[in-house]
Amino acid sequence: MTTTFVLSDLTGDYTLDLARTRIGFVARHTIGPEVRGRFDDFEGHARLDGGDPARSAVQLTVQSASIQSGNPKRDEYLRDKYLNLAEHPAITFTSSEVRQIGATAFELTGDLTIRGVRNPITVNLELTSAEHDPSGDLRLQLKGGATINRKDWGVHWSAAAGLVARNVTLEFDVAALRRP
């Protein structure tokens, strides 16, 4: 961590700092390099209990239409075919369990809903910094991710067979703010 804090000092309600948070993904493609992308429209909040991390909770909502992979034609395909934007405009994650697995390492288990299909996942996060910014807000920086099988969320039609690997890595570089 950038500044030394006792974990219990970090207790409070946090919102995502949208300008400093990146929610991304990596998918292996069988004919070419990996496809990397991100989502640009999301919101989230957390309740951190530094004295008892198991009592912490996280909620995240990502707008499917905001997917960006650097290729507009592919992005439209991802919105329509992979994410089924017309019927499912948002991707959500709601934690059900938070476990501290190291001094600054955590596992968040919860339900990830994509395309209207809800499945449990575990996200590994590392608290990389905690510091007060010039306005007095406490800013936490966390990094981590999870790997999911796209087929578990109904992404398995014949057009995708053999072209995109089943596993997709979700990447999180999160800045969260607790205002005084």
- List of domains in the chain: 7-178 (2.40.128.110)
DSSP E strands, 19-104:
22-29, 35-39, 42-48, 57-63, 67-68, 90-100
What is the reported pLDDT for 178? 97
Write down the pTM of the prediction.
Answer: 0.91
Mean pLDDT, rounded, for 100-119: 97
Q: Which residue has the higher pLDDT, 60 or 159?
A: 60
Q: Which residue has the higher pLDDT, 32 or 104?
A: 104
Mean pLDDT, rounded, for 90-115: 97
Mean pLDDT, rounded, for 50-66: 97
Mean pLDDT, rounded, for 21-40: 90
How many C-beta neighbours within 10 Å does residue 138 have? 19
Taking alpha carbons only, the member of 141, 136, 147 closest to residue 169 is: 147
Please report which residue ranges of the chain form alpha helices under DSSP H.
72-77
Q: Which residue has the higher pLDDT, 32 or 62?
A: 62
Task: State the Cα–Cα distance between residues 52 and 157, nearest whole angstrom.
Answer: 44
Taking alpha carbons only, the member of 118, 124, 117, 129 closest to residue 172 is: 124
What is the reported pLDDT for 2? 45
By CB atoms closer than 10 A (0-12, 13-18, 19+), residue 75 is middle
What is the reported pLDDT for 33? 82
Mean pLDDT, rounded, for 104-108: 96
What is the reported pLDDT for 162? 53
Q: Which residue has the higher pLDDT, 15 or 3?
A: 15
Mean pLDDT, rounded, for 18-36: 89
